[in-house]
Structure 1
Amino acid sequence: MSDSKNTRPRPHVIIAGAGMGGLTLAIALLKKGFDVDIYEQSSELREVGAGLWISANGARVMEALGLTETLQRINLPPKDRLIRYWKTGEGKSVYNLRGSTPKADHTLIQVLRAELQRVLYEAVISIKPDAVHFGARSLGAETVDGRARLLLDDGHHVDGDVVVGCDGAHSRVRQSMFGPAPARYTGALAWRGLAPMKNLKPQHREALASTWVGPTAHVTTYPVQRDGEMFVSFSAQVDSDTWHTESWSEKGDLADALNDFAGWHQDIIDLFVGSENLFRWGLFVRDPLESWSKGQVTLVGDACHSMTPYLGMGVNLTMEDAFVLSRCLEQNADTIPEALQRYDRARIDRANRTKAESLNMFGIFHSPDLAESATAWPYIHKHWSEQAVSERYDWLLQYDATSVEI
Structure 2
Amino acid sequence: MSNSQGKGRPHVLIAGAGMGGLTLAAALLQKGFDVDVYEQAPELREVGAGLWISANGARVLDALGLKRVIEAINLPPQDRVVRFWKTGEEHSVYTRNSDSKADHTLIQVLRAELQRVLHDAVVKLKPGAVHFGVRSVGVENVSGRARLLLEDGTAVEGDVVVGCDGAHSRIRQSIFGPAPARYTGANAWRGLAPMEKLKPQHRRPLASTWVGPTAHVTTYPVQRNGEEFVSFSGQVDSETWQTESWSERGELADALKDFEGWHQDILDLFIHSENLFRWGIFVRDPLDRWSKGRVTLVGDACHSMTPYLGMGVNLTFEDAYVLARSLESTPGDVEGALKRYDAARIERANRTKAKSLEMLPIFHNPELARSETAWPYIQSQWSEEAVRARYDWLLAYDATTVEIR
- Mapped partners of 1:311, 1:143: distance in 2: 35
SS in 2 for 1:48: coil
- Mapped partners of 2:144, 2:294: distance in 1: 8
1:76 has 2:75 as partner: yes
Q: What is the aligned partner in structure 2 of residue 267 from structure 1?
A: 265
Q: What is the aligned partner in structure 2 of residue 3 from structure 1?
A: none
SS in 2 for 1:192: strand
After TM superposition, give the deviation of residue 103 of structure 1 in Å.
1.3
Q: What is the aligned partner in structure 1 of residue 50 from structure 2?
A: 51
- Mapped partners of 1:97, 1:326: distance in 2: 30
| Deviation string, structure 1 residues 316-357 (Cα, Å, up to 9, x no partner) | 000000000000000111011000000000000000000000
- Mapped partners of 1:96, 1:356: distance in 2: 23
Q: What is the aligned partner in structure 1 of residue 118 from structure 2?
A: 120
Alpha-carbon distance change, 8 to 71 in structure 1, aligned in 2, over 3 angstroms: closer
Q: Is the 8 A contact 2:219 2:232 kept in 1?
A: yes
Q: What is the aligned partner in structure 1 of residue 3 from structure 2?
A: none
What pairs with 1:5-404 in structure 2 (closer than 5 Å)? 9-96=8-95, 99=98, 101-404=99-402
After TM superposition, give the deviation of residue 8 of structure 1 in Å.
6.2
TM-score normalised per structure 1: 0.97
- Mapped partners of 2:335, 2:46: distance in 1: 32
Amino acid at match of 2:387: V
After TM superposition, give the deviation of residue 48 of structure 1 in Å.
1.3
- Mapped partners of 1:102, 1:375: distance in 2: 29
- Mapped partners of 1:98, 1:35: distance in 2: 43
Q: Is the 8 A contact 1:139 1:151 kept in 2?
A: yes
| Deviation string, structure 1 residues 38-63 (Cα, Å, up to 9, x no partner) | 00001001251110011000000000
- Mapped partners of 1:94, 1:367: distance in 2: 18
| Alignment RMSD (CA, Å) | 0.9
- Mapped partners of 1:239, 1:83: distance in 2: 19
Runs of 4+ that moved beyond 2 A: 96-99
Amino acid at match of 2:397: Y
Alpha-carbon distance change, 152 to 47 in structure 1, aligned in 2, over 3 angstroms: farther
Q: Is the 8 A contact 1:147 1:159 kept in 2?
A: yes
Q: Is the 8 A contact 2:96 2:103 kept in 1?
A: no
Amino acid at match of 1:49: G
| Deviation string, structure 1 residues 82-140 (Cα, Å, up to 9, x no partner) | 000000000000012564x2211000000000000000000000010110001110011
* Greater Cα offset, 42-51 or 169-178: 42-51
SS in 2 for 1:311: coil
| Deviation string, structure 1 residues 176-224 (Cα, Å, up to 9, x no partner) | 0000000000000000000000000000011000000000000000000
Q: Is the 8 A contact 2:213 2:369 kept in 1?
A: yes
Q: Is the 8 A contact 1:19 1:47 kept in 2?
A: no
- Mapped partners of 1:97, 1:378: distance in 2: 23
Give the % identical residues: 75
Q: Is the 8 A contact 1:369 1:379 kept in 2?
A: yes
| Deviation string, structure 1 residues 204-248 (Cα, Å, up to 9, x no partner) | 011000000000000000000000000000000000001110011
Which stretches in structure 1 are left out of the alignment for 5+ residues? 1-6
* Greater Cα offset, 38-47 or 354-363: 38-47
| Deviation string, structure 1 residues 283-327 (Cα, Å, up to 9, x no partner) | 000000000000000000000000000000000000000000000
SS in 1 for 2:23: helix
Q: Is the 8 A contact 2:213 2:368 kept in 1?
A: yes
Which stretches in structure 2 are left out of the alignment for 5+ residues? 1-5
- Mapped partners of 1:385, 1:396: distance in 2: 17
Q: Is the 8 A contact 1:251 1:280 kept in 2?
A: yes
- Mapped partners of 2:49, 2:20: distance in 1: 17
- Mapped partners of 2:7, 2:65: distance in 1: 27
SS in 1 for 2:254: helix
SS in 1 for 2:244: coil
- Mapped partners of 1:53, 1:373: distance in 2: 29
- Mapped partners of 1:134, 1:228: distance in 2: 27
Amino acid at match of 1:225: Q
How many residues in Structure 1 have an aligned counterpart in Structure 2?
A: 399
- Mapped partners of 1:332, 1:374: distance in 2: 59
- Mapped partners of 1:9, 1:289: distance in 2: 32
Amino acid at match of 1:269: L
Amino acid at match of 2:71: Q
